[in-house]
Amino acid sequence: MTTVARILESKSRDIHIVRPEDTVADALQLMADKNVGAVLVVEGDRLVGIFTERHYARNIFLKGRRSPTTLIGEVMEKNVIYVEPHQTAEACMALMTNKKIRHLPVLRDGRLVGIISIGDLLKSVIADGQFNIEQMVLYIRG
């Protein structure tokens, strides 16, 4: 079974962060520049929230709020669901499905070490399945 640590090894180490006092426009610009669907909200060295495209749609756009004047700290998700590097891809997929989320920060000993998305997990599961098929074919061929 693939672990979160292994998934993090295969992707960029970049963690895109904003601060609670940054504006939603700042976060959206960073998300557009980096082509990501979520940014983590950090205060000092502590994870305090997450802001996603879904948060923008529901908490800004649909409520008629203004991105240049609304602070991330006002609209971020404060109850952040996270995982640790030893957890499996399957456990993360189950968690994401149950909680209806698409991004999971990764913490090791309380420190932020990365973020994984549902796309990262799907890529991992597909790669594992292909490897298993290849191994079966080799076994059958003898």
Rounded CA separation 85/108 (Å):
7
Q: What is the pLDDT along the chain (142 residues), one digit of tens a residue?
A: 799 999 999 888 889 999 999 999 999 999 999 999 999 999 998 999 999 999 999 999 999 999 999 999 999 999 999 999 999 999 999 999 999 999 999 999 999 999 999 999 988 878 767 766 677 777 687 7
pLDDT for the residue numbered 136: 72
Residue 4 near residue 86 (C-beta atoms within 8 A): yes
pLDDT for the residue numbered 131: 66
Q: For CA atoms 81, 114, 71, 69, give the dihedral sign.
A: negative
Residue among 101, 45, 97, 93 at smallest CA distance from 77? 101
pLDDT for the residue numbered 79: 96
Other C-beta atoms closer than 10 Å to the C-beta of 111 total: 10
Residue among 3, 8, 73 at smallest CA distance from 43? 73
**3-state DSSP helix/strand/coil percent for the chain, to nearest 5?**
45, 25, 30
In the chain, what are the domain boundaries? 4-141
Residue 117 near residue 103 (C-beta atoms within 8 A): yes
pLDDT for the residue numbered 132: 66
Rounded CA separation 114/111 (Å):
9
Rounded CA separation 47/81 (Å):
11
CATH architecture of 4-141: Roll (3.10)
The residue whose two tokens read 């399945």 is: 129
Residue 106 near residue 114 (C-beta atoms within 8 A): yes
pLDDT for the residue numbered 127: 74
